[in-house]
Amino acid sequence: MIKIFKDFELGEILNRNLKTYDEYENTVKDIIANVIKNKDDALKYYSEKFDGAVLDNLEVTREEFEEAEKSVSCEMKKILNTAKENITEFHKKQLKKGFRINKEGGIVLGQKYTPIKKAGIYVPGGTASYPSTVLMNVLPAKIAGVEEIVVVTPVKKDGKVKPEVLYAAQIAGANRVFKIGGAQAIAALAYGTNTVPKVDKITGPGNIFVALAKRQVYGIVSIDMIAGPSEILIIADDTANPKYVAADLLSQAEHDKLASPVLITNSIDLAKKVQKEIEILLSESIRGEIAKASIDENGKIIISKSIEEAIDISNEIAPEHLEICVENAFEYLDKIVNAGSIFLGKYTPEALGDYYAGPNHTLPTSGSAKFSSPLSVDDFLKKSSYIYYPKEQLEKVKDDIATFAECEGLYAHANSVLIRFEKDKK
């Protein structure tokens, strides 16, 4: 049962990112080393070991795409295409233009954006599969102008990828899809194999092995973030519907046993009602065992003195998902400074953002919303600045630059400017 706290030590939540996974580090290191050495053979070995699938071909074929398209229902196709339109509309607004400053005397300064060339998208499998992750990662890359987008995802025991995942990859514009998952898939994208191309950046969520592998290959490639277990924090007052609140807490609790569902409310009456509703919904849940473990281990209801205090606590926690289930929710929007994605009002459940509304669902976890942002088009773009000075303009500032360089003890820097104005020696 989810516990209610009137007096609560905030550090219990703030320290959630201090968990260590040393026991997994060496396993991941060994997997990466094996993939570097044995390439496709290692990938096939791990597919059989971890997924129970014996694969002759690691890449999804045209025939498999065609088969998947036929097996996806018309209703699901319509839903996926509508979600695609919403996500595309939102992310196109994120596109930035470079700028150019033309200064007096012919000086030109500017900044330009260039898409990365190759992106690798990790789509989780296992206890669930995620066509939504395909759309949320591939579409921003496509909008940014990435030349080659490679999707990797674990397979079922029959060696097939869920049809909805393949259909989502197709409509989003992925170039290639490979039937590999886990740390081995991250290693393949980072270093390349016989068939899997090396990419420049890897995005997408995964389990602890995927997260640790992304951390270990960072520097060889770029990554989006190290995603921890899923989190939801709900701020609710006495006008909130306890059944809705309970349902939303369980929507994240069912992700995995490490997920963190938290409610902060100024109403003890609501807290007790939510507590009861959670027990009722758990008894009816298909993924009840996972959700119950999450609720029992990490679930919390915190009683605050006011909604303002609840927001202060939330800003310290910096949750991945934050729901504001109060009257006049927009009045509090500007007070929220640390959250991955914010859901305003009593009819804006977190699941709306997961699938359909348009903003990205790949979000910072473990308190990293204090300094990082949701996945966006920006993640697939590089910025370069540029400078142009005519000779006469450089001559005006040459002594300043030289003095600055010499102050730092970098005399060759100074000389690289001054040498351009030495009189020719015969």
Q: Which residues belong to the active site?
A: 320-321
CB atoms near residue 421 (< 10 Å): 11
Q: What whole-number distance in Å separates Cα of residue 227 and Cα of residue 364?
A: 7
Q: With contact defined as beta carbons under 8 Å apart, do 313 and 304 qualify?
A: yes
CA torsion sign for 180, 184, 187, 193 is negative
366: closest CA among 262, 237, 258, 231?
A: 231
Give, in order, the Cα–Cα distances in Å from 245 to each of 34, 148, 316, 383. 46, 41, 21, 42
Q: What whole-number distance in Å separates Cα of residue 87 and Cα of residue 353?
A: 10
Give, in order, the Cα–Cα distances in Å from 343 to each of 58, 215, 251, 323. 39, 30, 14, 5
Angle between helices 74-92 and 131-144 (to 10 degrees): 40
Phi and psi at residue 242, in whole multiples of 5°?
A: -60, -30
